[in-house]
Structures are given as C-alpha cells and as structure tokens.
Structure 1
Amino acid sequence: MATPLSAAKTLSALKTEGLTVHEHAGWKTHNRDSATGKSFGPVIGVLIHHTAGHGDKELCYKGRSDLPGPLCHSWLGKTDGLWMIGHGRANHAGLVDLDVLNALREEKPLPHDDQANADGNDCLYGLEIENLGDGKDPYPDAQYRNAVLWAAALCRAHGWTEKSVAGHKEVQPGKIDPSFDMDDFRADVKKQLATTVGKSTPGKPLPGTATKPRVDLSRLVKAAKTDPGAKQGHVSYMAGTNLAEAALVKLGYLSKTYAGDGSFGTTTVAAYAKWQHHLGYSGADANGIPGKISLGKLGDKTGLFSVVA
C-alpha cells in the first residue's frame, strides 16, 4: 500500500516515462472525496478500462446523471493523446472482488473475480482508453504504447511491478474491459519497467506486442455446456462468448440479433456447429462445443481473437 501521488508528482512520473500529457481544466481538484466522505488511498495498483465509445473525454470528466465524474484519473484517446481528468477518488472501479484486491496488494497471481464486495475506487488508479470494446475496434499502436507507459509510470513511482496492474474485467464480475489481453499488457509493462526512464519513445510500438484479445478455451467450453440449459440470459463467460459470436456473425453463421449478450445459448451452439461442419467435422465432433483447433481457426479466419487453452 502507498500514499497516492500528488498532482505534481503524477505529472512528473508520467512525463519522465516519456508521455506527452494534456491537462483538463480543473483536474487537480476534480474528485469524489468530499461528495462521498471517503478519501482516496492508500493505493495498491492501477486499473485499465476501455470506454466502450468514441469522443468521450468530456463524459469521463463530467460523468453521467447516475454516475458523477470523474470517471477515471486519465483518459487516453485514439488520436487526442493522454489527458489528466481527475486527482483523488474517481468513479471508475466500483465494487470489486476483495480477493483480487488482496492479490494486487501482495503482487500475487489474480484469482477469479466472483464477488463484488469491496470498493475499488478507494485504492486503484484508473485509466480509460477510448475504444468501442467490441473486439473489432483497433487500438492504434501509439495509443496502446501510451497505455503501457501510463501504467509503468505509476508502478515505477510506487516501486510496484507489473503485478500491480489489472484490467476491469479481472476485478469485477461481468465486466469485459479492456478488450485486449491483460497478460500481454502486463508483459509489456514489465518490459517498460526494465528500461531506463527518459529514453522511451511515445507512440513506438513494442516489438511483438499482441493487442488482439484472447479467448480462454476452457471457460468458453464451460459456457457452451452451461448456458443453454440455464435460465434465459445466463452468462458464464461474457468476454469470450461475445468474441466468438462476433466471429460467427462475421462469417455469416450467426445473426447479429443473437450476438453480444454474453450467453453461449442454443442458437450460438447451433451456429458453432455449422462452423464445425464447414471445417469438415461431423457427428460428436460437430456438436457446437468449441474445440481448440476449430476455435483457433475461427479466431484466425476473422482476426478477432487468439486462443489460450
């Protein structure tokens, strides 16, 4: 645990890491501390989000009628660069899994987020990255690189490793952001932390950086076996299911009407079976339950995801 950086030290850390930083008017005093009666800190890590929209810097600053701003500490645009949005407590994390917070604090592997029993706004810095988050909207190399620099800067300032970095989808059940793979992102933060600060090149992509999201085969198989027989709208693995459905829609095996709800239901199973038949499978091998080869080919064919078994 650590005391949150002052506004001046935050700016210094980000700029030293190699970032060009823009400052929204009023950001240094824009927070939810007084309104909630809860101060920000001690801090234990950084949280990465996607905005699920475009042109949403002002939304992140002002918030919504049901969720006042700031909605993050920094906003990272596709072409507009990095902007400071708030300093102090921000409405970005919400209720998260206490076990995951404890793992971040101790820099241990993150457990599965199956509860929402702790306030993440108390202790996590938040970055919102401008992106639709549908698995198809790309992250420009410069934008992704700057996200890595942002996370590395805060980790470096506090003496943390990449293990203090998490995605919203890793701390709060049901969230899917960000729509890139967090293991890849942490690996890139680790590479950045191994460099000498002041020598980074903003906008230069890291060699071998993989921004394509990954689908966990075992979790998707469980969803395909569980969701059809469960209550209508049951969701076992939202992020992976949505990516698989988007791929099936792209290839014409599934109507867009039935995609994007996170549920691997009977219609999705039937659509996946058609994909398996297309690959030459039959019988029990074309039952609509994803396999490593068929899922890998689906991701490769559409370019939407890679597979981790």
Structure 2
Amino acid sequence: MATPLAPERLLASLRAEGVKVQEVGSWHTHNRNHKGTWGPVNGVMIHHTVTVDTAASVGLCRDGYAVLPGPLCHGVIDKTGTVHLVGHGRANHAGGGDPQVLARVIAEDYGDRPPAPRYHEGSPGAADGNARFYGFECVNLGDGKDPWPAAQLDAIERASAAICRAHGWSARSVIGHSEWSDWKIDPRGFTMPDLRGRIATRLGSAAAPKPPSPKPPVYEPFPGAAFFAADRRSAIVTAMGRRLVAEGCGRYKVGPGPAWSEADRQSYAAWQRKLGFSGSDADGIPGKASWDRLKVPNV
C-alpha cells in the first residue's frame, strides 16, 4: 500500500520516464474526493475508451456524464502516445471489483494473470477500485479491430512503469479493467501479460532517471489594491486573468490581456463570490486574502 503521489511528483515521474504529457485545465484538483477516499493506492488500471476522437475522449474523461460524473480516469492516452492528465484523486474509473484480485495485486504474487474476477460494481463485498488504483483510459474502440499504434502502447508501458517505479512496485501492480471486474472486457486488442512483460523489462533497466524533486511553485505576491487601476498594464494582469479562467470565473469576451479592464473586475468579482465573499467584499478589486488563494504564477 502507498500514499498517492502528489500532482507534482506524478508529473515529474511521467516525464522522467519519457512520457509526453499534456496538462488539462486544473487537473491537479479535479477529483471525486468528496465521494470517498483516495488511497492507499495499490496499482494501475488500464482501460479503453470506446471512442475515436482525442479531443472528445479527453473531454468525456474529464467531465463524465449525467450518471457518471468526471473525472473518469487520471490520464487519457491518445494514439500518438500523449498522456492527457485530466484528474488527480478519486476518479470514477474502476468501480467495484474482486477483493481476491486486490489481495494478489498488493502481494504481487500471482503468475501470468491474477485470479479471474467474480465481483463487479454493486456486488456484495466488492472492493472499491476507485480508492485503490490509478486509472488510464486509452483511446480505442475496443472492438478488437481498432489498431493500437506502437506510440500508444509505448506510452501505456511508460506511464505504468513511471508510477510503479515511483512507488517501488513491480509490473504485477498493473492490471486491466477486465482483470478487476467480471463485467468488463477492457482493454481489448492487446494482452495484459504482454504489457506487464514489457513493463517488467523497463523497470529492470536503468533507462529512466530518478525523477527530480519538484521545485515548489512560485506565485506573484499581492501587489496591493491600488495596483488595479484603469491605466494599469502588466503581465501580472494577464496571469491573473488566465487563473480566473482556469477557475471558471472568466467573464472575458476577448483576452485576458495585460490592461486592467471591466472584464477583469467582473471576473475577479466572480472569484470573490466563489470564495464566499459578498457585498463590498466582492467588488472585483483584489484583496490579499482572495489573491493568495488564486495562486497567480510568478511572471
């Protein structure tokens, strides 16, 4: 069992393993943690999306749908081999599964495959896979005919190995959804024993360097309320606007840009209201408390 990797450590581990990564929005805080625990983690689960288009697949896996809200995984692996990070924390990807399989993954003592699962979501006694596994959705129709390009298979191998390496796990900590739940067939089109064999080879090599210790992020200090005047032009204003958009508070028709504007004021007021401020405390002029929580990157 292990504590889940912090977002910065996960990102560094993937990149150290040679994975091409695309960060999607505020992926590092997008999760279902309010619905249950995330961790201790025990392994990596591989899925296929039953979709074709990359953008649509990423959007679906990030946002989910009415009966199954997103994120539906932690990363989407497209056919070019890019991993799109869409969430960090509890995600709706694994559902209920076989506790005997979980025990064998934790022990890493099974042979070619873990025992055949006999549980699924809703089964009495099913284990909560959403709490225990990292999940990667791979763009593929899953019909046994849609090809798996070499770049995509390489990315699945590298991403899985990166997490195993960071936690000190063997390749037996990587399973397919069909090995977890007797309701599932994914991934279809390659075999998990073959994937685990390639991951084991990678983990046995010294090809991947140790992930560097992530540097703490640096944020812009609060410049003071007087900074936000009608004639102000600054890269800080642009950086602030981009963070407001990322937080879902953007009220821009064009931009954001370096010139402080009414759209900036309205956007910041939306941020203040999101934090629970009201009245004159949500007038759109930044104050130190709301600014510090916005975490505007240093420019």
> How would you bin the TM-score normalised by the shorter chain?
0.5 to 0.7
TM-superposition CA deviations, 1:163-188 (whole Å, max 9, x none): 11100000101211001200001001
Q: TM-score, normalised by structure 1?
A: 0.62
Aligned to 1:187: 197
Q: 2:177 aligned with 1:168, yes or no? A: yes
Secondary structure at 2:175 match in 1: strand
Is the contact between residue 91 and residue 130 of structure 2 (CA under 8 Å) also seen in structure 1? yes
Identity %: 46
Is the contact between residue 18 and residue 197 of structure 1 (CA under 8 Å) also seen in structure 2? no
Q: How many residues align?
A: 197
Whole-angstrom distance in 2 between the partners of 1:32 and 1:174: 23
Aligned to 1:27: 27
Is the contact between residue 46 and residue 165 of structure 1 (CA under 8 Å) also seen in structure 2? yes
Secondary structure at 1:102 match in 2: helix
Q: TM-score, normalised by structure 2?
A: 0.65
Aligned to 1:119: 128
Amino acid at match of 1:17: E
Q: 2:95 aligned with 1:91, yes or no? A: no
Per the TM alignment, residue 98 of structure 1 is displaced from its structure 2 partner at its CA by 0.6
Q: CA RMSD in A?
A: 1.1
Secondary structure at 1:125 match in 2: strand
Whole-angstrom distance in 2 between the partners of 1:9 and 1:173: 33
TM-superposition CA deviations, 1:222-262 (whole Å, max 9, x none): xxxxxxxxxxxxxxxxxxxxxxxxxxxxxxxxxxxxxxxxx
Is the contact between residue 16 and residue 197 of structure 1 (CA under 8 Å) also seen in structure 2? no
TM-superposition CA deviations, 1:275-304 (whole Å, max 9, x none): xxxxxxxxxxxxxxxxxxxxxxxxxxxxxx
Is the contact between residue 46 and residue 124 of structure 1 (CA under 8 Å) also seen in structure 2? yes
Is the contact between residue 50 and residue 133 of structure 1 (CA under 8 Å) also seen in structure 2? yes
Per the TM alignment, residue 80 of structure 1 is displaced from its structure 2 partner at its CA by 6.7
Secondary structure at 1:145 match in 2: helix
TM-superposition CA deviations, 1:186-233 (whole Å, max 9, x none): 00100111122437xxxxxxxxxxxxxxxxxxxxxxxxxxxxxxxxxx
Q: 2:149 aligned with 1:151, yes or no? A: no
Aligned to 1:218: none
Aligned to 2:83: 82
Per the TM alignment, residue 10 of structure 1 is displaced from its structure 2 partner at its CA by 0.1
Is the contact between residue 160 and residue 199 of structure 2 (CA under 8 Å) also seen in structure 1? yes
1:178 to 180, 184, 187: 187
Aligned to 1:47: 45
Range that drifts further, 19-28 or 189-198: 189-198
TM-superposition CA deviations, 1:110-148 (whole Å, max 9, x none): 111012311100110000000000000001000110000
Whole-angstrom distance in 1 between the partners of 2:26 and 2:81: 18
Aligned to 1:66: 67
Q: How do residues 3-18 of structure 1 correspond to structure 2 at under 5 angstroms? A: 3-18=3-18
Amino acid at match of 2:193: D
Per the TM alignment, residue 79 of structure 1 is displaced from its structure 2 partner at its CA by 2.8
Per the TM alignment, residue 81 of structure 1 is displaced from its structure 2 partner at its CA by 1.4
Whole-angstrom distance in 2 between the partners of 1:32 and 1:128: 17
Query: Any gaps of 5 or more consecutive residues in structure 1?
Result: 200-309
Amino acid at match of 1:167: G
Q: More relative contact order in 1 or in 2 (CA 8 Å, sep 6+)?
A: 2
Amino acid at match of 1:53: T
Amino acid at match of 2:13: A
Whole-angstrom distance in 1 between the partners of 2:171 and 2:81: 26
Amino acid at match of 2:161: A
Is the contact between residue 94 and residue 119 of structure 1 (CA under 8 Å) also seen in structure 2? yes
Is the contact between residue 149 and residue 189 of structure 1 (CA under 8 Å) also seen in structure 2? yes
Query: Any gaps of 5 or more consecutive residues in structure 2?
Result: 121-125, 210-299
Amino acid at match of 1:42: P
Whole-angstrom distance in 1 between the partners of 2:115 and 2:208: 34
- Gap change, CA 1:148 and 1:80, over 3 Å in 2: closer
Aligned to 1:106: 107
